[in-house]
Amino acid sequence: MNHTQLGRSELRVGRLALGGNVFGWTADERTSFAVLDAFVAAGMNLIDTADAYSRWIPGHRGGESETIIGNWLASRGNRARLVIATKVGVEMGPGEQGLSRQYILRAVERSLQRLRTDYIDLYQSHRDDEQTPQEETLEAYAQLIREGKVRVIGASNFTAARLGAALALSREKSLPRYESLQPWYNLYDRSAFESELAEFCRREQLGVISYFSLASGFLSGKYRTQQDLDGRPRAYRVKDMMTERGMRILAALDAASRELNATPARVSLAWLIARGVTAPIASATSVAQLNDLVAGVQLVLPAELVRKLDAASGVP
């Protein structure tokens, strides 16, 4: 599997990022271990998680995903081969959120403990914190990099304006720069990223690690009727996509899938690679799903199929 440089950093990552949001949620530890083993066996190395996964589940406190990944790392002894990415900033409890220096320094120790490692390869600001000066945030990251606890930093859910301001500060103050952006981006949800951020990332040489790469499973083609949503944990996200436009996108994916003898999920991931994404994030709750995702980032879409998928999505 080909690897690519993440931004201007020395990190090299595979073309697929394994989403850890399902670990401890829809995938128990045993299943998570099997998926992680298959991911590494396929030649991949970038595992993305966050301290807040999966705090949204009743009874969960956050840190469930990091804990499972940490247990797996300890049992496999393969830490040096992997790029572990996690995030900070989303609320973990009363007063435990944001990107202040004090909070980042507390949160990173908890993530390191759960991950059972002494360093994080890619530490990401999970979402912007306009209440904290960006210089304070970057200075906290600088301290962590000096201490060897973090190698590279990234941003998630930032606007082009705020990301640009952060990069300007990094240049002016000789502070660490964000080397990647994690945006919400897929064949269904295009405009927010493509309007400004796509060109910005190209110009600034930032890696792009898209999340919701399969639109919560909608682009896999498994949700086509209301009955398909019954009992599904992500139904609340997918139901709004089941529109005329959504069905048009699925029809285009079906046509491309037939032409390439591939699944819609594979085609959707290949489209992201064709559009310049460094490593789309996708999660799997079985080894079979994982193998399908890996095949997607190995698939090369002909330019004509990319144009047809672009047109079907209704975005110029």
pLDDT at site 237: 75
Confidence of residue 316 (pLDDT cuts 50, 70, 90): very low
234, 240 in Cβ contact below 8 A?
no
Domain assignment present for 271? yes
Number of structural domains the chain divides into = 1
Tell me the pLDDT tens digit for each residue of 263-278. Answer: 999 999 999 999 999 9
pTM value?
0.95
* Domain interval for residue 80: 3-217+264-301
How far is 221 from 216, CA to CA, in rounded Å? 11
CATH of the domain at 122: 3.20.20.100
Tell me the pLDDT tens digit for each residue of 19-70. Answer: 999 999 999 999 999 999 999 999 999 999 999 999 999 999 999 999 999 9
Domain assignment present for 316? no
Average pLDDT, the chain: 95
Domain assignment present for 97? yes
Q: Is 178 a catalytic residue?
A: no
Domain assignment present for 246? no
Q: Which member of 53, 123, 178, 188 is catalytic?
A: 53
Domain assignment present for 234? no
pLDDT at site 44: 97
Domain assignment present for 153? yes
Domain assignment present for 154? yes
